Amino acid sequence: MSGLWASVDGRVTPAEQAVVPALDRGFLFGDAVYEVFSTRRGRPLFWAEHLDRLRASGARTGLAPQAIDGAVLRAEVAALCAAVGADEAYVRLMVSRGVNPDLALDPREGLTPTRVLFARPLTPVDPALKAHGCVLSTTVVPRRDDGQPVAKKSSRQGAIAERLAAHAAGAYEALRVDTLGRVLEGATSTFFAVRAGVLLTPPLGLGILDGITRRHVLAVARAASVPVAEAAIPAEALDELDEAFICSSTRGV
């Protein structure tokens, strides 16, 4: 794939030449955590926050703390972006539990984590989407309001199915709604809305991802004295909203 580069445990190659062992638990079981972010002139945007969230995801999935070495990962991001050679890059960073000696589901002691990074030139959002907006289609998912933070795990089967259904319906993104009819988030994005001058977004307590861009949108709004409410948004009230938008680390707002 033109323009796509990879780094596997620090070895940088074009993505089509990258190799991960077939017994790696990230490949076998999706037993890995990941982050996606963009860079400017080789520097990751909001790196400290992405690294903290990666570590939190690792802790919630039982990865050893030493599996996520910030200095090593930062250096590998820099080397990978240098190979890409673009001022702005899209980066996907994954840390798996390591290579199994066999097909056992239970993790073995003493595995060495595998670091896999991908990067390519950042693709600008279609100007038509910025000018005219995008279509979202709703998809119902189970309730997740158990108060536990969401880990970014590599297994993305749910999001893949949601995105396929959304695209089949002619939509740009899938909008998750729980079984109580509460809007949660996009399959790959955070959902915001404006109603009566108040900026609304679903609360983290509903089991949504603590989006990095979400944090900064809220911070900018509060700094500008825009009224903000982290509150449940009923799906049945979507037509009553004055405005709505989605955001993510690689698309912005």
- Residue 4 scores a pLDDT above 80: yes
In this structure, CATH architecture of domain 128-247: Alpha-Beta Barrel (3.20)
Instruction: State the chain's mean pLDDT as an integer.
Output: 95
Q: How is the chain split into domains, by residue range?
A: 5-121, 128-247
The reported pLDDT for the residue numbered 147 is: 66
What is the spatial distance between Cα 49 and Cα 251, in angstroms, rounded to a whole number?
17
- Ramachandran class of 30: left when φ > 0, alpha when ψ lies in -120 to 50, beta otherwise: left
Residue 65: pLDDT band (50, 70, 90) is confident
Identical fold between 5-121 and 128-247: no
Answer yes or no: are the C-beta atoms of 32 and 97 closer than 8 Å.
yes
Q: Does domain 5-121 have CATH number 3.30.470.10?
A: yes
The reported pLDDT for the residue numbered 37 is: 98
| Segment 167-198, tens digit of pLDDT | 999 999 999 999 999 999 999 999 999 999 99
| Segment 120-139, tens digit of pLDDT | 999 989 999 989 999 999 99
